[in-house]
Amino acid sequence: MLSETVWNSNLKELKIDYLYHLGLDNTEDLKGTFKDTRFVCMFGSALRAEMFAKKAGKQLGFTVEGPIGKTERFSLYKIGPVISVSHGMGMPSLLILLHEITKLLQYAEAIDVAYIRIGTCGGVGIEPGTVVITTEAVNEKLEAVFEHMELGKVRRYITKLDNKLAESILKSAGDIKAVLGKTMGTDDFYEGQGRLDGALQPRYKAEEKMEYLKKAAEIGVLNIEMEATAFATFCSRADITGAIVDAALLDRLKVDQIYVGKEELAGFSEKAQQVVLNYIKSKING
């Protein structure tokens, strides 16, 4: 799956590679279970990963295997050529999953796998329920950059995403309202996204928050979540085709809190999932 220049050459020195947070290692029959994987669909919560697995099984006509490995940190299901797996909230948690699932697929000798993160987000100037497919991930400074600390130094990585994949997924939306746009990835939900409803007195005022969100809207940011830049950078570094498909739960130009009811919320989240399922169906049957 990874080219020789990208795959970590240090791993050759390990007798056994423990994928600690997945609860699997490379002495197991990873090839038998995972070699035919073509799509890895990733979700913040274990509940969503499980629900998507069931839906994918039904709609694509495959048996749902799993949870495979341990479920303490992530929950992983396999449905024919599809993996459905959770990554927790935020980039640090997501990065653990990305490293371990990529090692797993490399050991399994899987070929040509696409990574698709399916989530929920705050919209910026769009109607709740709209599905945003990311064209470019930007950080809190509105730069298309992921800043990562390595050995105490900041490394700046580009956040390129495959726009062909984004456009193909958009075409699969059917009746579901979906748009292409930039996505801001942040390291916090409250103050990191300029919310005014955290526990502590924020160091900014309502006007400054609105100014910030409007500046984001001006450069084409349609939504804000907590994973986009790390996801895009990892895919770009690994040369893996990646896409981010998020359903907006609210419009941050209007509110900070998520007011939609439990059922409506599930409906929003399912829209993003259905768009991706439509796309996968078209690729499997096509």
**Judged by CB under 8 A, which of 11, 31, 54, 109 binds its own copies?**
11
**Judged by CB under 8 A, which of 72, 112, 175, 263 binds its own copies?**
72
Decide: is 206 part of the binding site for its own copies (CB under 8 A).
Answer: yes
Report the residue number, 28 or 187, with the smaller CB distance to its own copies: 187
Judged by CB under 8 A, the chain residues 171 through 200 that form the site for its own copies are 186-192, 194, 196-200
Report the residue number, 8 or 282, with the smaller CB distance to its own copies: 8
CA distances from residue 22 to 87, 113, 222, 269 in whole angstroms, order as listed: 11, 19, 33, 25
| Closest to 173 in 3D by CA, of 284, 38, 272 | 272
CA distance 272 to 248: 9
Number of residues that bind its own copies (CB under 8 A): 73
CA distance 186 to 62: 36
Which window, 32-40, 111-119, 137-145, 173-181, contacts its own copies (CB under 8 A)?
Answer: 137-145
DSSP state for residue 178 in the 8-state scheme? E
Instruction: Give the 3-state secondary structure of residue 124.
Output: coil
Decide: is 238 part of the binding site for its own copies (CB under 8 A).
Answer: yes
CA distance 105 to 219: 36
The distance of closest approach from Cβ of residue 167 to its own copies in the complex, given in angstroms and rounded to an integer, is: 27
**Judged by CB under 8 A, which of 52, 80, 103, 221 binds its own copies?**
103
Give every CB contact of residue 175 below 8 A, 6+ residues apart in sequence: none
Angle between helices 163-171 and 262-285 (to 10 degrees): 110
Judged by CB under 8 A, the chain residues 256 through 275 that form the site for its own copies are 257-259
Decide: is 152 part of the binding site for its own copies (CB under 8 A).
Answer: yes
Computed over its alpha carbons, how large is the radius of gyration of the chain? 19
The distance of closest approach from Cβ of residue 177 to its own copies in the complex, given in angstroms and rounded to an integer, is: 23
Decide: is 201 part of the binding site for its own copies (CB under 8 A).
Answer: yes
Which window, 15-23, 30-38, 76-84, 126-134, contacts its own copies (CB under 8 A)?
Answer: 15-23
Give every CB contact of residue 240 below 8 A, 6+ residues apart in sequence: 1, 2, 102, 113, 114, 115, 234
Which window, 125-133, 141-149, 161-169, 270-278, contacts its own copies (CB under 8 A)?
Answer: 141-149
Judged by CB under 8 A, the chain residues 73 through 102 that form the site for its own copies are 73, 88-93, 95-96, 98-100, 102
